[in-house]
Chain A
Amino acid sequence: MFTVDSISIRYEQKSVINNFSFSVKKGEIVSIIGPNGSGKSTLLKAVSRLIPYHTGTVILDGTDLKTMSAKQVARKMCMLSQKNQAPSDMTVIDLVSYGRYPHKKWFERLNQEDMDIVHWALEKTHLMEYKDRAVASLSGGESQRAWIAMALAQRPLIMLLDEPTTYLDISHQHEVLELVRELNQDMGMTVVMVLHDLNQASTYSDSIVVVQAGEKAMYGTPNEVMTTDMIRDIYRMDAEVQYVPTEKKPRIHLLSTVR
C-alpha cells in the first residue's frame, strides 16, 4: 500500500534521514515516534512530498511517488501539519470544500457530487452542526477535526498526520485520536502519524516506527516496541511498562531521567 524504501534526506549538507525504510499495509495505523530532532517530522514531510528526498523511493498504491503529479498524489494521500491556520472568516464548510480541488481542473466548479462528499466528510468528523461557523472560532479539537474533514474530502487512501495532538489539551487530544481510530475502523483508512506521547502511540497504533538520529531504531507492534530498554535507549528515561489485558496494548509509566 505504502512503502518507503531506503530514502535519505539532507538539509543544508547535513543528513537528516539516512537510508530509511518502512512499509504500511492497507488499513493500518502506524505511528512514528522518536525524540525531538530525530527527524520524524522531516521523514513524514518528505514522504508526502512537502520537502524533497534525495535518494530512495516511495511507492504509493503501487506507483512511484516521483512519477506522479502533485494532483495525482493529492487524490490518494493527504498530509496534515501540526498547526494550520484558516483565514479568520472562513467557514468550516468552505474549508472542507477545498479538499475537493485536487479532483477538479483549474476552471471546474464544485458540483453536487463534490458537495455530497463534503457533507459526508462533515458527518464523519461530527461537524455538521458547525458547518457554517468560522474555523477560527472553533476550539482546538474542533478545528483540528475541520482540517481532518478537509483531508477526508480529498478521499485519500492514506492519511499522514504530523503531530495532530501537539497543540491540544488532553481531552481534545483524545477526541482527535478517537476520530482517527473511528475513520480507520469504519472506512479502513490507512494512517501514518507522528506522535510524541508514548501511551497514545501504544494505544492507537497497529505498528510503531522508532526514529533515532535519522535512522530506524525499531519497527514493530506496540508490544514489541514499547519496552523499558527502548525507552531508556531512545529517550534516556526509566519507565515501567504495564501490559493492560483489556486494551491489549502496553501502557507506559515514566519514572525518571537516566543519569
Chain B
Amino acid sequence: MINTSRSRIVVIVTVLLALVAAIIAIGLGSVFIPVSDILSTIFGSSSKAVNATIIWDIRLPRVLLAMIIGANIAISGALLQAVMGNPLADPGLTGVTSGAAACVLVIMLAAPQYTEFIPIAAFVGGLIAAGIVYALAWRRTGISPITIILSGVAVNALCGGLIGLLTIMYSDRLPAAVQWLNGSLAAKGNNALMMVFPYAIAGWILSFFAIRKANIIRLGDQVASNLGENVNRIRILLSLLAVFLAAISVAAIGMIGFVGLVVPHMARLLVGSDYKYLLPMSMALGALVLLIADTGGRTLFAPLDIPAGILMAVIGGPYFLYLMRKKAF
C-alpha cells in the first residue's frame, strides 16, 4: 500500500535530487567548475568571465535542455499509458518518436530552407504514427500489450525504412543529421532551449489539467463513461498532448528511446499509479534520468560525446527485458 504523504515526499525529494544533479552536471566537463563558482555565477556577480561563458552559453542550456526533454518524454509516456490502458505504451515503442523523426528528417535533408517548420513536422509525423497504432491495435475490448508492440514494430519499421531512404538520397547532407538521429544534446545551445521551452511549459500546464481525466480513464472505458465522461474525447485529447510533448522533444534533439517507458514505470513503483503523484514524479524523474544519461555520455568517455539517446538505449533495453522477465506487463 502506498500512502499519499509518502508519495508527496518522494516527489519532492526527486525534484531536489534533480536540482542537485543539475548543479553537479554544470560543473562537470573538460573544464571542471566547483559548485561554489557555479552558484556565484548563476546567483551573483562572478569574477571569472570564462566560467560565465561556459556556464551561460554551454553547460546550463544543455543541462536545462536535457531536463526539459527528459520530463517531456516521461510525461508523454505516462499519458500514453493512461490512454492506452497499457504499461508498454511509450512514444518510442509505439512509433510516435520515429514517425516524428521521419517527418523532421524530410525537412532537414530534403527541404532545409524550411527549418522553422520542424516542430510542426514532428507533431504531424507523431500524430500519423499514433493514428496508425490506434488503427492497428484498437479492439473493442481495448489494446493488448502484444498488439501495441506489434503495431509499434510495424510503424517503427516503416519509419526506419523512410529514414534510411532519406539518408541514402541525401547522403551529402547527412553529417548535420547524424547527431540528431542518435538523440544527442551536443552542440545544442540556447537556440534549441528557446525553441523547446515555451512549448514544454504549455505542455506541462495542460498535462496537469489532464491528471483527473487520466485517473478516471484508468478505471476502464465503461466505468469512465458511467461517470459521465466522454471516453473517446479524453483519449483523443490526452493522445494529442502526449504526441505534442514527444514531438517537440524529437524536433529539438532527435530520437531518445526508453525514457517514456522506463521512467513512468519506475515512478509507478515509487509513488503508485495515482496520476496526481505519478505525473509530477515522472516529470522530475524523467528530468533526472535524461540529465544523468547526457552528463554521463559527455563525461565518461571524454573527449567522446556519446549521445544521450544511445546511452538510454543501452540502459533502457536491458531494463525493458528485466520488466518482461518480471512479467510486469
List chain A positions with a Cβ less than 8 A from chain B. Answer: 48-50, 69-75, 78-81, 84-91, 94-95, 98-99, 101-102, 106-107, 132-134, 150-151, 154
Contact = CB atoms under 8 A, between A and B. Distances in A.
Contacts of B2: 89
Interface size class of B (residues with CB under 8 A): 20 to 34
Contact of B219 (A71, A84, A132): A84
Given A75-B228, A101-B227, A132-B1, 16 more contacts: A49-B225, A50-B226, A70-B228, A71-B228, A73-B228, A84-B222, A87-B218, A89-B274, A90-B273, A90-B274, A99-B227, A101-B212, A101-B228, A102-B228, A150-B223, A151-B226
B210 to A, nearest CB: 10
A134 B227 contact: no
A71 B2 CA distance: 31
Contact of A88 (B213, B216, B228, B273): B273
Interface of B: 1-2, 209, 212-213, 215-216, 218-220, 222-223, 225-230, 272-274
A151 B1 CA distance: 24
Contacts of B273: 87-90
A148 to B, nearest CB: 12
A81 B228 contact: no
5 contacts: A70-B225, A74-B226, A91-B1, A102-B227, A107-B209
A134 B1 contact: yes
Nearest to A160: B226
Contacts of B272: 89
Q: Is the interface of B mostly helix, strand, loop or mixed?
A: loop
Could you say which of B213, B216, B229 has the most chain A C-beta atoms within 10 Å of its C-beta? B229
Contacts of B229: 70, 101
A71 B273 CA distance: 25
Contact of B227 (A74, A86, A132): A74
B162 to A, nearest CB: 35
Nearest to B226: A79
A134 B272 CA distance: 12
A84 B223 contact: yes
A47 to B, nearest CB: 12
Contacts of A102: 227-228
A199 B213 CA distance: 41
Nearest to A151: B226
Could you say which of A88, A91, A132 has the most chain B C-beta atoms within 10 Å of its C-beta? A91
A179 B229 CA distance: 27
A171 to B, nearest CB: 26
B99 to A, nearest CB: 29
Could you say which of B216, B219, B226, B229 has the most chain A C-beta atoms within 10 Å of its C-beta? B226
A106 B212 contact: yes
Nearest to A73: B228
Contacts of A91: 1
A123 to B, nearest CB: 21
Contacts of A154: 227
B227 A69 contact: no
B227 A81 contact: no
Contacts of A80: 226
A75 B230 CA distance: 15
Nearest to A108: B212
B302 to A, nearest CB: 42
* Closest 10 A/B residue pairs (Cβ): A74-B228, A71-B228, A102-B228, A70-B228, A87-B273, A89-B272, A79-B226, A81-B222, A89-B2, A87-B218
Nearest to A95: B219
A230 B157 CA distance: 58
Given A88-B273, A132-B1, A98 B227 contact: yes
A78 to B, nearest CB: 6
Contact of A70 (B212, B215, B230): B230
